[in-house]
Structure 1
Amino acid sequence: MNETLLKNIHGLAGQSDLLDQLMIFITDKAIYLFGLILLLMWVFGNVKTKKVALLAGITGVIGIVINVAISHIYFETRPFVTLGYKPLIDHAADASFPSDHTTGAFSIALILFAYRKKIGTFAIVLAVLTGFSRIYAGLHYPFDVLGSIVVSVILALIITKLDFLFEKPIQKIIDLYLSIFGKRSERRNQNM
């Protein structure tokens, strides 16, 4: 089933140059768009928005660390290695499961959605496109992406339940930032 789904999705590659270029852009650059979203929230947001941006970034990093641990426990060969085809973009023949790009994208997107519905909705759409593009480009099996989503959902649920543990360290980072770059009037201790 995993291989069949991969062949159906990756089989779309090469049929439309425009779609191929869009999927290559998303698979290559979406992670930078997430970084840009967090940076803009940090620079232009109020203290509460800065807290959400920082928490989302921390969650993304934790998700990647979890992926590294998983890939050391269970190694899945990349589909282009196993099935012998050339993916849309060059990629190392490292672990396929779970997808780091998809985990990072969904971990960030789910935290944004939990605290900021509008930008979170956009981020979830971008995360879905990221996961799809990884399959389309032939870099991951569908279950690699599904596994990443499961990791991200579990992580986001844990982080949102335990966000109080991050409150003081995040506030210290924000206070330091504001003491250097911000206005004293922005220093208000708001809950996430």
Structure 2
Amino acid sequence: MIANIDYQVFQWLNDFAGKETFLNVVMRFFAERAEYIMIIGIILYWFTRTNTNRMMAIQSLIATAVGFGTSALIANFFYRDRPFVAHVVNQLIPHAANASFPSDHATAAFAIAMTFYIVRRREGKVWLLFAALIAISRVWTGVHYPTDIIAGACLGMVTAWGVHKVCHNWKFANQQLQACITLYEKVEHKILPKKHSREL
């Protein structure tokens, strides 16, 4: 029942790739390149040189790594073929015929976006929308089912929340991250002139 509904929603959304072709360029970008913008976002937040943003940047990377690890375990136990393996689809981007569930792109995008949202609510809403477009584009371009991206999004958000809670509430984890930031800043201050920047 769920699999049937999942495929019907996939087919409805993927059919747009054959009808609304003017959007295909946009969807290809979100499916293949948009996550680089999220990486750039992490780098930019890091180089604002505020402790809050640097802690947020580290947490987003940890959440992504944990999300990827969890996703790999799930894929081993609940293997699912890609849509283009089992069906005739509008496939707009090349992709290996590996595990489809859950979506790594959705996991990473929502792990990063949710971390940003937890720390910086106003901007975080934009990042969550950006992550949603990445997830939807993976169905549009024919490489994931809707439940793949839903599972990936949930995994990413839960991981981001969990990592933030651990880093915020567990004194040892907080101290270790702070020590990493302090060590980096000692090196940074020797290379770059220290600039006084306010907390954003």
Check whether TM > 0.5.
yes
Structure 1 residue 123: Cα displacement:
1.0
Equivalent pair of 1:23/1:136 in contact (CA under 8 Å): yes
Say whether 1:170 aligns with 2:174.
no
1:43 to 44, 47, 55: 47
Equivalent pair of 1:6/1:135 in contact (CA under 8 Å): yes
| Counterpart Cα distance in 2 of 1:17 and 1:86 | 11
1:130-168 deviation per Cα after TM superposition (whole angstroms, max 9, x unaligned) = 110000001100000111122123223322321234312
Q: Would the alpha carbon gap of residues 16 and 162 (structure 1) be closer, same or farther in structure 2, given more than 3 Å must change? A: same
Aligned-residue sequence identity (percent) comes to 27
Q: Would the alpha carbon gap of residues 45 and 17 (structure 1) be closer, same or farther in structure 2, given more than 3 Å must change? A: farther
Residue aligning to 1:76: 80
1:179 to 173, 183, 186: 186
Range with bigger deviation, 160-169 or 134-143: 160-169
1:13-58 deviation per Cα after TM superposition (whole angstroms, max 9, x unaligned) = 0323330000000011121111000000001241111111111111
DSSP 3-state at the match of 1:139: coil
Range with bigger deviation, 96-105 or 47-56: 47-56
Residue aligning to 2:140: 136
| Counterpart Cα distance in 2 of 1:171 and 1:128 | 31
| Counterpart Cα distance in 2 of 1:87 and 1:119 | 32
Equivalent pair of 1:178/1:184 in contact (CA under 8 Å): no
- Root mean square deviation, CA, Å: 1.8
1:94-133 deviation per Cα after TM superposition (whole angstroms, max 9, x unaligned) = 0000000000000111111011112211110111001100
- Give the TM-score of the pair, scaled to structure 1: 0.91
How many residue pairs get aligned? The number is: 187
Equivalent pair of 2:83/2:143 in contact (CA under 8 Å): yes
| Counterpart Cα distance in 1 of 2:45 and 2:24 | 31
| Counterpart Cα distance in 2 of 1:137 and 1:49 | 34
- Give the TM-score of the pair, scaled to structure 2: 0.87
| Counterpart Cα distance in 1 of 2:101 and 2:26 | 24
Range with bigger deviation, 90-99 or 15-24: 15-24
